[in-house]
Structure 1
């Protein structure tokens, strides 16, 4: 299946999830992820502020922050690359480009991701055999993942049913090491 049709199919499946199911999924993903020792020990975490039918990260970001982690969230640049700024509580966010909530803190630059001990990224699907993720098609997170060190845990958050064999891959696509679904954590590499 090509990327466009796969994106369309997965987006449609996500849109059919009820608000109750989305909340339950977010709770299970957050709780399971926070149980991982390598998550608990990560001092600097790069995450994202979810929107729409994505696996919700708002509670996860808040929990990481309350447990003492420094959490960086992306700031979309005009070239579709991602800058990073520190989350400092719910009042530290404002709508950015396309209305996506972003931190208002000082920008740290695109290379700030190199200092993260844990990187959590969005995805529509992940291939369990290769770790290749399917994003929205802008390439922003493939650029991010190309800057992350080889020993840094990279985790894509998904709903159940989004681990998909045969996700189409292109040379610029970068794999993730883990996929987190409401059903559990899958090690990919």
Structure 2
């Protein structure tokens, strides 16, 4: 997978970059998104990090995000315990087990969340792999998120607990770029999965 070197420049603010990537996503057709979702699932299911994980912390894609529904259903069918996030009022994340598409409810900000028992924010530390949403990743593995800070807290919680699950971001091909603006608290991911391939970092 080649990096796109013309998309990101450091002088762009994170907010501007987010708007740019979201605009590109908004232009994708339903067929584009469905094809990308199927390809992402195939790529991700081939990762040894997911094959070896008894528990995977994931999320339910919404809108024009790279699709995760096919992937999380396939993981569940494999017998993997899939944890999905529940957004808390302070933007932190609680977690609950995914029991299938019939057990998802519409929540704040249009998110889909599991309807099962809440397991607590610390339950993410039981995961052998964590699937992260994002808008882009650069050649150092630094992820550009949506700006809410929820997954920064997740990554900090894992570090504090001394846990190092595989951290994997799911993106479209054009969202693997040369550089994104970084802040001191930013932590790199281990891999990016796009419809056309897998990129591993350091």
Q: TM-score range by the shorter chain?
A: over 0.9
2:187 is the alignment partner of 1:177 = no
Q: Find the aligned partners of 1:76 and 1:150 in 2 and give their Cα distance.
A: 22
Q: 1:114 aligns with which of 125, 128, 131?
A: 125
Q: 1:37 aligns with which of 39, 44, 48?
A: 48
TM-score (norm 2): 0.89
SS in 2 for 1:123: coil
Runs of 4+ off more than 6 Å: none
TM-superposition CA deviations, 1:101-123 (whole Å, max 9, x none): 10111111111111100100100
For the Cα contact (< 8 Å) 2:189–2:201, is it kept in 1?
yes
Q: Find the aligned partners of 2:75 and 2:17 in 1 and give their Cα distance.
A: 32
Q: Find the aligned partners of 1:57 and 1:36 in 2 and give their Cα distance.
A: 15
TM-score (norm 1): 0.95
Q: Find the aligned partners of 1:151 and 1:79 in 2 and give their Cα distance.
A: 25
Q: 1:58 aligns with which of 32, 55, 69?
A: 69
Aligned to 1:86: 97
Q: Which runs of 5+ in 1 are unaligned?
A: none
Aligned to 2:79: 68
Aligned length: 188
Shift of 1:24: 0.8
For the Cα contact (< 8 Å) 2:83–2:98, is it kept in 1?
yes
Instruction: State the Cα RMSD in Å.
Output: 1.1
Aligned to 2:147: 137
Q: Find the aligned partners of 1:117 and 1:145 in 2 and give their Cα distance.
A: 13
- Using CA pairs below 8 Å that are at least 6 residues apart, which structure has the higher relative contact order? 2
